[in-house]
A and B are shown apart, each in its own frame.
Chain A
Amino acid sequence: ETGVTQTPRHLVMGMTNKKSLKCEQHLGHNAMYWYKQSAKKPLELMFVYSLEERVENNSVPSRFSPECPNSSHLFLHLHTLQPEDSALYLCASSQDGGGRDKWTGELFFGEGSRLTVL
């Protein structure tokens, strides 16, 4: 497999369910991201992991819980979600600059997981 793969591609869950989204990158990158894309809203950054450490948590509700066991895998654990959490969840990876290296700004996105909360 190449690039960034996300599973599942579609998920329907009730408000009391617990589910997880999975992301895997095969690009050798050292940073991974979760973004949320809702209709008529900009892409919203949820979490950033660089070198497997969480360096950014954009005030995301605790019902979203990320996990990054290694530089190639990223999970988003979901529990007691609300209907307004229905959106496309995009995972991305990049090679983080680190120090004086200029970050290219190129994020490689997966195809996304379309989440519907009933």
Chain B
Amino acid sequence: QKEVEQNSGPLSVPEGAIASLNCTYSDRGSQSFFWYRQYSGKSPELIMSIYSNGDKEDGRFTAQLNKASQYVSLLIRDSQPSDSATYLCAVTLIKAAGNKLTFGGGTRVLVKP
């Protein structure tokens, strides 16, 4: 079983619509959850973090966490062509040192004008 699973996509959404991305993880001890965005040919960059069950909103992005179901999601509202990228889900168990992220394979999102 993969540690962090995502649908590889591509997820095609029309401009202005909501893009919904899902991620499941296998380690119940995971404490912190992150969404990274990676444009083609570029490096990943952090866009959202969430630590507690529920929703967290930041601009057009909303992260949702359900630890009981081991499920994290990302909603992108009013999707723009500039949101076309691969979105990587990452999880971690916070330690005193040597913290690391385990990444999923990413979901490719295509926003069509």
A110 interface contact, C-beta 8 A = yes
Which positions in B face A, CB cutoff 8 Å? 2, 4, 8, 32, 34, 42-46, 49, 51, 88, 90, 92, 94, 96-106
Contacts between chains A and B (CB distance < 8 A), count: 73
A42 interface contact, C-beta 8 A = yes
Contact partner, B105, options A42, A48, A109, A110, Cβ 8 Å: A42
Looking at chain A's contact residues, the main secondary structure is loop
Q: What is the size, in residues, of chain A's interface with B at 8 Å between Cβ atoms? A: 28
Q: Which A residues are in CB contact (< 8 Å) with B51?
A: 102
Contact partner, A42, options B97, B99, B104, Cβ 8 Å: B104
Closest chain-A Cβ to B103's Cβ sits at a distance in Å of: 4
Beyond A41-B105, A42-B104, is A109–B99 a contact (Cβ under 8 Å)?
A: no
Choose, from A59-67, A70-78, A89-97, the stretch at the interface. Answer: A89-97
Interface string of A79-118 (1 = CB under 8 A from B): 0000000000010001011110011111101111000000
Tell me, in angstroms, the Cα distance from A112 to B32 when the chains sit together. 25
Q: Is the CB of B97 within 8 A of A51?
A: yes
Q: Is the CB of A107 within 8 A of B102?
A: no
Q: Is the CB of A56 within 8 A of B100?
A: yes
Q: Is the CB of B43 within 8 A of A43?
A: no
Tell me, in angstroms, the Cα distance from A51 to B44 when the chains sit together. 23
A31 interface contact, C-beta 8 A = yes
Tell me, in angstroms, the Cα distance from A32 to B104 when the chains sit together. 20
A50 interface contact, C-beta 8 A = yes
Q: Is the CB of B103 within 8 A of A55?
A: no
